[in-house]
Every structure is written in structure tokens, then in C-alpha cells.
A and B are shown apart, each in its own frame.
Chain A
Amino acid sequence: MAAAKDKDREKTLLYVPGEGWLHRLNPLTRLTGLGLVAVAAFALPPAATIVIALVATLMGTVAGAGAVFLRRLTLTLGPLALALFVVHGMLMDHPNRFGFLGLDLSHDGLMYMVKILGRIAALLSGSLVFVTTTHPSALLKALDSHGFPPGVSYLIASPLLLLEPFTQRARAIREAQMARGLDLEGSFFARIRAFPALLLPLVTLALADIDHRAQVLDGRGFRARPRRTVLDAPKDSPRQRLARRVMLGLAPLLIVGAFFWH
């Protein structure tokens, strides 16, 4: 039961344990790489974004997360690609129309679809490479050990950790209110009317929790010192530090370059 809960958390996080070179990189290096991909997805022309997406997909599949990566990418990108194809390739009033397999398609619409899809694919595949190869705790330790304010780490960790207890509480409130006669299985309007009875206790308890957790954090010395001591911080190297500086230097160049390319 408890082990199953641990596995549920791992599924929520999307992280896939591994020992490959991507996993061994410092999380900040991967995070910087993701930042560069995000900038490139908007700055570079469509052909380049497709190349980025393909490279990220290859990296994610071979070097890191394998099946989980591909499944998530397909589940997210597949429906989106289909929707963009229908909307921009067929339905929207784009010029240069032609017939193919009985479909009335627009060349300009399809080009627009490729442009949008390329950006999204680059962003999504880059993000998936990051989340499937980076455990949040490793990211927190990397941020802390590099002198980022502890509040930044907390903003990343707490939503991931507290989501499950919050969901459990929502479920408990739902069951308690139903036991008191609240109609949650009736018509749409009956459910709308019942909504405040679920939301108000959830929000009230969440606010009380915030107060309590703030006391817990104060009691444990959170932000009492500007720097935390980090145990088992992810390894870093001069090469990775150099790579991060290069990527950080490339980002503004890409932004400036985008004004010329577009």
C-alpha cells in the first residue's frame, strides 16, 4: 500500500530513474538547456524547431527515458497535431488550396500548422527530456547548492509534494458532504449548486494549512540563514559550468537574431 503510494508519486513526477549521461548531468545544465530550447523554439525558423524537436526526441528516447518519454510525447502531441491539421489545413480560410485524397487542403494553412507544431514540439520534447531525467529533489539540491534563494526551491517542491494530500482532502470533503446529503450525482445544475459546499471547506482548510505550515517552516529555521547546507548535491564540473555559460550567452543572441530572421 505505502510502496504503491511511492510509485504513484513517481508517476506524477514523470521522472524515470537512470544512469545514462543525461541523468548524470547536473540538473542546472539540463535546466539551462531547456531554457535555450524555449528561446530557440520562438526565435528560430520552423525547420530549425523541427530539428530541435527531433534531436530532443532522440535524446529522450535513447539516452534517457525511453518508453515513458515517447508515450507522453505521442499522447500530448498526437491530438494536438491532428487538431492543428484539421483547423489550419482544412477549416481556416487560408489561401493556396489543393485537393489530396478527397480532402480540401490549404498549402499556407499546412505551413502555418508546421510552424506552430514545430514550436510546440520543440518546447514539449525539451521539457519532457528535462522532467523525465531530473528528479525534483535533485533540482532543489542543485539550486540550493548554487546559492539560489531557498524560497525558489520551495516554490518548485511544495506544489509537487502537496498536490497528493490536497487531492486526498478534496476527496474526503466530497465524501463527507455526500454523506450529509449533498447531491453530486444529479443534473449539471445540481452539481453547480453543490460546488460551493465542496470548494469553501477546501479553501478554508488550505488557508489554515498555509498558516500551520508557515509555523513549521519557521520552527525548522527556513530562511533563517541566507544559504542552506545541502547534502548529496548533484555533481558539477568546469565543463558543465562552461556549457551553461555558453547556453546563457547564446540565448540573447538567438533573440536578437530572431528580429533578422523573421
Chain B
Amino acid sequence: MATGFFTDTTVCIGCKACEVACKEWNQLPDDGFVFSGMSYDNTVMLGASTWRHVAFVERRRNDDFSWLMMSDVCKHCRSAACLEVCPTGAIVRTEFGSVYVQPDICNGCGYCVVACPFGVIDRREDDGRAWKCTLCYDRQRGGLEPACAKACPTDSIRFGEVDELRRLAEARVSTLHGEGVSDAYLYGVDQPGTDGLNAFFLLVDEPEVYNLPPDPSTPTKVAASSWSHVLAAGAALLGATVVAVVGGRQR
């Protein structure tokens, strides 16, 4: 039984309570304070010390102004690139179906950073290890919901069993369609490249607008074909070497 998040961006008000609750509960250090010029988004991105990030999109639509907000988080992919490429076994799947990095095992090789199709996990330079959202593993062990979902004042972040969340989300999309918000759709529920996300989203514009990849895929999906090319290249090297040695023998 997997738990996850359903983040309904249509009711997000951009208060960043989730960001603050996450930092506070997990005792994450600050990232420094700077004025980014990116609307109200001075957090800018998810990172080793930032496990929730509220994106602010300012759009011009039909000569009118529209504002989109979305609280981004680790997607806890069912087929997780970071976990699949981790060579140390530091990244594991927990009993809650979430993807968890064990800090005492991670040696900071950085492979998960390039593997993640969402740009979620990152290595902190002064710490040396990779970090990301744990889906509040400690709180879940204690029977509590994650800090961000607890703090969200509009229930834009809903926590629960993934199957239950999915029903909720589909109902919400129908409601929105009925109210005339025809752009509403679910992002990540049945994503072929990741086998679906345990933390999925309700969006009202293209994924790119929120800085989400339109068709992400864990690199491992094409690994068999990639390995076949590696084997062919290795065989070619061996073949060329044999030809060179036999052909180069002094007669």
C-alpha cells in the first residue's frame, strides 16, 4: 500500500506554508536569501535543502493577467531513476512506497542527480551527499501526515493512499470540467516513463509552464537496448585487437 500526494494547483494560493513546514520539521538549513526576480518565487527550485518549492507562473492570456501557483515536490516515481542508478544501495523503497535516501550510506557519487528526470534530487556541496523529500518518513512511522500536507491551509496538498487520492483527483477534474475549467488535467498519474507518480498534480496548462517535463522517463527503460550497443562496441574492440595482432605478426 503506497501513500503519496495529490497536489491540486487550482486551489494553491502560494502562501509557501508547505515550504516552511518542510524546512522546520525536517530541520533543513536555509539556502540564503536573495531576490530572484521570478515573480514571488525566491526559492527558485527544489534542491538538497529545499524539498518543497512553490512555483509562481505569471501568464498573459487574452490581454488578461493570470497567475498559476504550484507546490512542487519529489514525485516518488513508481519506477524511480534515482533508486535504479544508485550504486551503493543508499536509495531504497520504503514500506510506504516512497523513495528514501539513507544519508549514512550515500557516498555522494552524484549519479542520481543526472538520472532524475524531474531535477529533484541534488548533492549539497559542503555536505557531499544527495538529499531529497522523504515523504516525511519519520512522521508516517508515527502515524502522522507529512508536514507540508498538514500545513497547507487550502488542502491543495492532499496526503493519503495513492488509489484513494486518484479517485479524489479524478472527481476533482470532472468537477472543474463541469465548472468550465476545461484545461484541468492530471499530471503523472499514468505516466508510462515512470510507471506513474506517487506524488501527482492537477494542472491547468502545459507541464512546461510549471517547469515539469512533458514526457519524463527513467533512463533504465531503454537500458537493454543501450547495453546491446555497449556489448557490440566491446566485441568490436576485441575483434579489432585480434585482427591487429594477427595481421601485425612478423613473418
A and B interact physically: no
